[in-house]
Chains A and B, each alone.
Chain A
Amino acid sequence: MAKKRYSDKRRHLGQGAWTALTNAHFAGFVSGQIYTGPLKKACVPGLNCYSCPGALGACPIGALQAVIGSAEYKVSLYLMGFFVLVGTFLARFVCGWLCPFGLIQDLLHKIPFVKKIHTFPGDKWLRYLKYIILAVFVIILPLTLVNVIGSGNPYFCKLICPAGMIEGGWPLVALNPELRATLGHLFIWKNVVLALMVVASIILYRPFCKYLCPLGAIYGLFNKVSFYRYQLDDNRCISCGQCRKACGMAIDPVADINSPECIRCGRCKQVCPTEALSAGMKVGNGEKSNPDALA
């Protein structure tokens, strides 16, 4: 049987179009000012810094920290509802198709390197780090480390998020002399994190999504129940392992077709020689031949 190849071109076009659409305040890239219109009340599904000069919407992780870190609210119904709705319909399809920082990592991984790493010992356990980051930096610290008026900092954005640097920090600092005059240790630290992530993205596929992203951690919880899901036809699967080899996220689709780590990039579907894998919006449980496989 002829070996089938995968192509990410269609997905990259989709990612690029979505990134352009949700960052269409192009004047901001000239003026160095961010969009301040009413669309900023709503969140975009992916990790898209609201301080990107082109951003039309709010970053959901930044928005969550802003609300629970404010003096008025300690729980955000608005953001919890947003995560439940996006998760129930799309889950980590967002990571694969609608996240600008995912696109950046995809493009970085195309840079040649002497030895690309597919997986390594401890990889599986390191994936849990994103849940710890979600709990500690996105929820606990903004809620508990507060100033005299009860406001907390967005610690994930402040200390970790490399998307904020590349999407917001660099263009704004380049275009605003007054911001350049205020740069300090934090700017250096965040650039170090970004540099590490850039190097890691060249060697590994999507390291930020695998190990650090709190948004991916949230959406991953919905992969098994979302309307958009993958199906495995057990009758067609010949266990050739092609899907596992093609998977950039280093998961085995046959073992867990709707794994929380799956970003729905579609490579496994493309390389399957028997077309045992398919995807789509499903009202039922999405399994053709094995109804209990998701239980």
Chain B
Amino acid sequence: MKSRLNDWYTRFLLVALGMGLVLGGLMRNEAATVFTKASRICLECIGIG
């Protein structure tokens, strides 16, 4: 029973942590950096730059 509760708490905390981190990243406007990189051809990825 204790193991099950620990497991549940671990996942609940991880989901809360994940959501908090994503929100923190969005507030810091990190998505704009992702967009800037992803919306242009990545020359490194395709073996040119």
Binding site for B on A (CB under 8 A): 34-38, 40-43, 49-51, 55, 57-59, 62-63, 66-67, 70, 72-73, 76-85, 87-89, 153-154, 157-158, 161, 164-165, 168-169, 172-173, 179, 182-184, 186-187, 189-191, 222, 225-227, 283-285, 291-292, 294-295
**Residue on A with the closest CB to B37?**
A66
Q: Give the interface SS of chain B, mostly helix, strand, loop or mixed.
A: helix
The answer for the CA separation of A82 and B45 in the assembled complex, in Å, is 21
Q: Which of B8, B19, B33, B47 has the most CB of A within 10 A?
A: B47
Q: Name the interface residues of B1-27: CB closer than 8 Å to any CB of A.
A: 3-4, 7-8, 10-11, 14-15, 17-26
> Are B37 and A164 touching (Cβ within 8 A)?
no
Residues of chain B at the chain A interface (Cβ within 8 Å)? 3-4, 7-8, 10-11, 14-15, 17-26, 28, 30-42, 44-49
Interfacial chain B residues near A183, Cβ < 8 Å: 47-48
Give me 26 A-to-B residue pairs in the complex whose CB atoms sit less than 8 angstroms apart, sorted by A's number. Answer: A40-B39, A49-B46, A50-B37, A51-B42, A58-B35, A66-B37, A67-B34, A77-B21, A77-B24, A81-B20, A81-B23, A84-B17, A85-B15, A153-B44, A154-B44, A157-B42, A158-B49, A164-B44, A168-B46, A169-B47, A172-B41, A186-B47, A187-B46, A225-B14, A283-B11, A291-B4
Chain B contacts of A292 at CB under 8 A?
3
* Assembly CA distance A85 to B20 (angstroms): 10
| Contacts A88-B15, A183-B48, A225-B7; A49 near B22 (Cβ below 8 A) | no
Contacts of A77 in B (CB 8 A): 21-22, 24-25, 28, 30
A80 and B21 contacting across the interface, CB-CB below 8 Å: yes
Set of chain A residues within 8 Å of B17, measured between Cβ atoms: 81, 84
Query: Given contacts A77-B25, A78-B30, A165-B46, could you give 6 more A-B pairs where the C-beta distance is less than 8 Å?
Result: A40-B35, A58-B38, A77-B24, A154-B44, A179-B46, A183-B47
- CB of A189 to closest CB in B, whole Å: 7
